[in-house]
A and B are shown apart, each in its own frame.
Chain A
Amino acid sequence: DTAVSQTPKYLVTQMGNDKSIKCEQNLGHDTMYWYKQDSKKFLKIMFSYNNKELIINETVPNRFSPKSPDKAHLNLHINSLELGDSAVYFCASTPDTRGNTIYFGEGSWLTVV
């Protein structure tokens, strides 16, 4: 069983489109995250939710909107996609906000053309 699963794995879309990436974890964790890894391989946190509540919101354009319908799901919706949004987006979870081991999903490769 995949602990943290995200879909789609690959996404190619045109500038200006709106797209969503879905994430689910079956580990029973309270805290979930979205990370972005750009072409230079920097892995940066975007958002974190704890029990469906937003607790971390780094400097991210408001075109990015996370949604957590329950603590096992954290989806990412992106409006008006730009070329610079091309990256790998990783969903992740930890047991709680202090959790040291971060469990990542396999990543979603987004290419904006």
Chain B
Amino acid sequence: RKEVEQDPGPFNVPEGATVAFNCTYSNSASQSFFWYRQDCRKEPKLLMSVYSSGNEDGRFTAQLNRASQYISLLIRDSKLSDSATYLCVVKGGSYIPTFGRGTSLIVHP
């Protein structure tokens, strides 16, 4: 089982749709969780951290379920500019971040 698993997609949704991505991790000792965004042929950039109580940043909501070892990202009211690959990142005690392979999102008019 891979350390961090994501459905690669692509998720193809119309503008205005709500879309959710899940990510599962295998190391129960993992301590920190993040979502990064990577545009085509660009570098990854931090989208948001994921806190135990869940957190929201505008149209984006991230949640963590430690018992089931998964994190999620919900995007409401999708925009064309949300089209990108969303990378789940997990860090354990060694502080080495482990990246998922990413979930591709395509928002169409």
Contacts and interface: CB of A to CB of B under 8 A. Distances in A.
- Report the contact-size class of chain B (Cβ under 8 Å from the partner): 20 to 34
Contacts of A90: 43-44
What does DSSP make chain B's interface, helix, strand, loop or mixed?
Answer: strand
B99 interface: yes
- Report the contact-size class of chain A (Cβ under 8 Å from the partner): 10 to 19
Contacts of B95: 97-98
A40 B101 contact: yes
Contact of B96 (A45, A100, A101, A104): A45
A77 interface: no
Contacts of B101: 40-42
B87 interface: yes
B99 A56 contact: no
A12 B44 CA distance: 23
B94 to A, nearest CB: 8
A83 interface: no
Interface string A81-104: 000000000100000011011101
Q: Which residue among B8, B41, B43, B49 has the maximum number of chain A CB atoms within 10 Å of its CB?
A: B43
What does DSSP make chain A's interface, helix, strand, loop or mixed?
Answer: loop
B99 A43 contact: yes
A10 to B, nearest CB: 11
A45 B98 CA distance: 8
Interface in A28-82: 40-45, 48, 56
Interface string B38-65: 0001111110010000000000000000
A100 B45 contact: no
Contacts of B45: 104
A56 B38 CA distance: 24
Given A40-B101, A41-B101, A42-B101, A102 B46 contact: yes
B71 to A, nearest CB: 14
Contacts of B46: 101-102
Contact of A107 (B34, B43, B91, B96): B43
Interface of B: 8, 32, 34, 36, 41-46, 49, 85, 87, 91, 95-97, 99, 101-102
